[in-house]
Structure 1
């Protein structure tokens, strides 16, 4: 059972574990994951939606109706709509981002995948992304999911984080290290 995982501590983890078990039993893991990914994107794009899920000032009914309307418009699956309705009725929408992240972690673990966060100075091409995925997969002997982002401040290179391991091959770090080394010479 997913609820026994160390990834499922706290309110968000317990709810995510329950949703994971329901989705697995219903054979709708991919649909629920897509719904949650879409919701996370919407939360990031809409300050009003983000405020609605956090606000203790809205009543239970207002939050329930609001999240139901958002999910209906987004075309979410029935399981996702029912689940988030329960979350709203239980006044736990404030933890929805944590639930989304915990669900993604449970799904990745179930599939034997590892997520690598990759920050690059410039957007990676499809070929570079695939080559990086294959290289990491070969080194870690696991399927790799990449979460990419861009930070122009890196100047060049990559920063890759897999779990607690980090590989910083950015030009910014190399220049910083060189600057520290030069201070010792002078």
Structure 2
């Protein structure tokens, strides 16, 4: 359900942004509103509270955001509140941001390594990703996890390339187990 909500509202905002040639403006506004909500948990609690009536929530939205962001974005937030989906507003905004990135061929890559990578290694990874994907640029996120022992795990969207030593050892263990099972079956 949450995925449907984020897709429905995110797609609607994206289409309006394209139609009105306001993609950059809406992107900046969405990021600002998302940051404001993320930073103000009391606002989120108020807007999500079941005992606060919708009309009061809509008034809060208008008081906070009218005149600061476009009327289209205020209207979208009002609609989300009116339909009782405020809890999913973060996923709506994340979906919209992801759609804009996809439209502009900007990839987001999450790279996990066992050790901290040098700038040269990071540059080589990004260069290789640009050569092997449709993206023209990447937002790179690096993480160190000693548990992978060595190699890299790279995630772009729902695609994962796992060349970690941990995974290779697990695969080898699984293969050896199969061999042992087959050898055990053949014994008299």
Q: What's the TM-score once normalised by structure 1's chain length?
A: 0.67
> After the TM superposition, which residues 163-174 of structure 1 pair with which residues of structure 2 at under 5 Å, given as runs?
163-167=157-161
- Cross-structure match for 1:77: 70
Asked if the contact 1:118/1:146 (under 8 Å) is kept, the reply is no
Q: CA RMSD in A?
A: 3.8
Pair 71,175 (structure 1): closer, same or farther in 2 beyond 3 Å = farther
Q: What's the TM-score once normalised by structure 2's chain length?
A: 0.67
Asked if the contact 2:111/2:155 (under 8 Å) is kept, the reply is yes
- Name the CA distance, whole Å, in 2 between partners of 1:86 and 1:34: 20
Asked if the contact 2:110/2:154 (under 8 Å) is kept, the reply is yes
- Secondary structure at 1:52's aligned position in 2? helix
Larger Cα Rg: Structure 1 or Structure 2? Answer: 2
- Cross-structure match for 1:97: 90
- Name the CA distance, whole Å, in 2 between partners of 1:149 and 1:62: 42
- Secondary structure at 2:128's aligned position in 1? helix
- Cross-structure match for 2:110: 117
Count of residues in Structure 1 that have an aligned counterpart in Structure 2: 176
1:50 aligns with 2:44: yes
Pair 9,176 (structure 1): closer, same or farther in 2 beyond 3 Å = closer
Pair 78,147 (structure 1): closer, same or farther in 2 beyond 3 Å = farther
Asked if the contact 2:106/2:139 (under 8 Å) is kept, the reply is no
How far did residue 125 of structure 1 move?
A: 8.9
How far did residue 94 of structure 1 move?
A: 1.9
> After the TM superposition, which residues 127-166 of structure 1 pair with which residues of structure 2 at under 5 Å, given as runs?
132-146=125-139, 148=141, 150=143, 159-166=153-160
Pair 102,155 (structure 1): closer, same or farther in 2 beyond 3 Å = same
Pair 92,141 (structure 1): closer, same or farther in 2 beyond 3 Å = closer
- Secondary structure at 1:76's aligned position in 2? coil
- Secondary structure at 1:58's aligned position in 2? coil
Pair 149,80 (structure 1): closer, same or farther in 2 beyond 3 Å = farther
Pair 154,61 (structure 1): closer, same or farther in 2 beyond 3 Å = farther
Asked if the contact 2:109/2:154 (under 8 Å) is kept, the reply is yes
- Name the CA distance, whole Å, in 1 between partners of 2:8 and 2:23: 17
